[in-house]
C-alpha cells in the first residue's frame, strides 16, 4: 500500500522543547520517500535550510493528505480545531507529557511513521463540541473543542450559580466553581481530575462534571452525544465567568448570558500505528497495574 499519502503536513508549536531534532528526523524520512512536505509557517525558523514549502495551518488542512503533529496533546488539540474542517487525517508524535493523542514517541519514528505512510494504521473518528455564548439571544462569542468546554468562575474560592438544561429540559440549578462539558476524548483530561468517568473514545456521549459543587449529592452525568446543552448564568451573579475550549480558546461571559454546547458537525480523523490500544494507553499514562491475573 505504499503511496497512500503523497503530500504531508508538519505542524507543531515552535517553542516546544526538543522540536528541532524531531522535525529534522521527520523531514529526512519524508524526503527519502520523495514525498512533498508542507511545513507550518511558524516552524520555518526551527529547521533552517529546509527545502519544503511553508504554509499556514489552514492551507495545510486544505492541501495535505496527512498531517503529522509534533508536540504534546495540547499541540494536537490546537491543530485539530482547524484540521477537522478539512477531514485531514492526523497522527501525533509526542514531545509533551501524557500524550493520549500523540502516541508515537521520537524513538519510534523510524519504525512507526513508515508503517502509517505505507497504509498500515488504525483509524479513529473523534467528535468535537461547539459552543456559543449568547447575550440577549445574540451570539457574543464561539469556539470549538476536541476535549472539553469549561464554564468556571475564574476566581479562587468563589462560586457561580447557573441553571442546566439538556434538550430544553430543566436538569438542576447549581452553585459550583463551574461545569466541565467533555467529549470521550477529553474524559482522560480535565474531566478526569474533576472526578469524571473515563469513557472509551468510540462512545457517542458527553459527560457533564460539576466543579466543586455546593451540593454534595451532585455527580457527573453522561448524556447522549447529540444532546443540546445550555447553561443559563443567573443574572444575580457578580462574577463574569470564563468559558474556555480545550483550555486554549477563552470567551468572557456575563451574568444573564447563556452558554450553548452541542456536537460539532466536523470530526477529527486520528490515525494510530497498528496494535494501538486505548486500554494500554491508560495503563501507561495513568499508571494502572500491568499485572495479569491468572
CATH code for the part of the protein at 129-264: 2.60.200.30
- Supply the pLDDT for residue 102: 86
Q: For 212-221, how does the pLDDT look when each residue is reduced to its tens digit (9 = 90+)? A: 998 888 999 9
DSSP per position, 243-268: EEETTTEEEE--TT-EEEEEEEEEEE
Domain residue spans of the chain: 7-119, 129-264
Q: What is the pLDDT of residue 18?
A: 75
pLDDT digits (tens, 9 = 90+) for 160-175: 999 999 999 999 999 9
| CATH class, 7-119 region | alpha beta
Q: pLDDT per position in the chain (294 positions), as tens? A: 445 799 999 999 877 777 889 999 999 999 999 999 999 999 988 888 788 899 999 999 999 999 999 988 889 999 999 999 999 999 999 876 667 888 898 999 999 999 999 999 999 999 999 999 999 999 999 999 999 999 999 876 789 999 999 999 999 999 999 999 999 999 999 999 999 999 999 999 999 999 999 888 899 999 999 999 999 999 999 999 999 999 999 999 999 999 999 999 999 999 999 998 999 889 988 888 776 655
Q: Are 80 and 183 in contact (CB under 8 A)?
A: no
Compute φ and ψ for 239, nearest 5 degrees.
Answer: -95, 145
- Rounded CA separation 164/151 (Å): 12
Residue positions annotated with a catalytic role: 73
pTM reported for the whole predicted model: 0.92
Q: Which pLDDT does position 97 carry in this prediction?
A: 67
- Listed in order, strand segments (DSSP E) in the chain are 7-12, 36-40, 53-55, 66-71, 90-94, 121-135, 138-145, 148-152, 160-166, 169-176, 178-182, 205-211, 221-224, 229-233, 242-245, 249-252, 258-273
Quote the pLDDT of residue 209.
98
CA distances from residue 64 to 59, 137, 196 in whole angstroms, order as listed: 8, 39, 36
Residues 6+ apart with CB under 8 A from 189: 73, 100, 147, 148, 182
Amino acid at each position: 500500500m505504499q503511496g497512500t499519502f503523497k503530500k504531508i503536513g508538519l505542524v507543531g508549536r515552535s517553542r516546544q522543547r526538543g522540536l528541532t531534532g524531531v522535525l529534522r528526523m521527520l523531514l529526512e524520512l519524508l524526503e527519502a520517500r520523495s514525498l512533498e512536505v508542507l511545513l507550518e509557517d511558524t516552524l520555518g525558523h526551527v529547521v533552517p535550510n529546509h527545502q519544503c514549502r511553508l504554509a499556514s495551518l489552514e492551507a495545510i488542512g486544505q492541501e495535505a493528505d496527512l498531517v503529522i503533529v509534533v508536540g504534546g496533546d495540547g499541540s494536537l488539540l490546537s491543530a485539530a480545531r482547524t484540521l477537522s474542517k478539512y477531514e485531514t487525517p492526523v497522527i501525533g508524535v509526542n514531545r509533551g507529557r501524557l500524550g493520549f493523542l500523540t502516541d508515537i514517541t521520537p524513538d519510534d519514528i523510524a519504525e512507526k511513521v513508515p508503517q502509517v505512510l505505507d497504509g498500515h494504521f488504525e483509524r479513529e473518528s473523534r467528535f468535537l463540541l461547539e459552543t456559543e455564548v449568547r447575550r440577549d439571544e445574540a451570539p457574543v462569542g464561539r469556539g470549538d473543542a476536541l476535549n472539553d468546554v469549561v464554564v468556571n468562575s475564574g476566581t479562587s474560592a468563589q462560586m457561580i450559580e447557573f441553571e442546566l438544561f439538556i434538550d430544553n429540559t430543566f436538569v438542576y440549578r447549581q452553585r459550583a466553581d463551574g461545569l466541565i462539558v467533555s467529549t470521550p476524548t477529553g474524559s482522560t483530561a480535565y474531566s478526569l481530575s474533576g472526578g469524571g468517568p473515563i469513557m472509551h473514545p468510540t462512545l457517542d456521549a458527553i459527560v457533564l462534571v460539576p466543579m466543586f459543587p455546593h451540593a454534595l449529592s451532585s455527580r457527573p452525568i453522561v448524556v447522549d452525544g447529540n444532546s443540546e446543552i445550555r447553561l443559563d448564568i443567573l443574572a444575580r451573579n457578580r462574577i463574569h465567568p470564563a468559558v474556555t475550549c480545550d483550555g486554549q480558546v477563552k470567551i468572557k461571559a456575563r451574568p444573564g448570558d447563556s452558554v450553548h454546547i452541542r456536537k460539532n458537525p466536523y470530526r477529527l480523523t486520528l490515525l494510530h500505528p497498528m496494535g494501538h490500544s486505548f486500554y494500554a494507553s491508560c495503563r501507561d499514562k495513568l499508571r494502572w497495574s500491568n499485572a495479569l491475573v491468572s
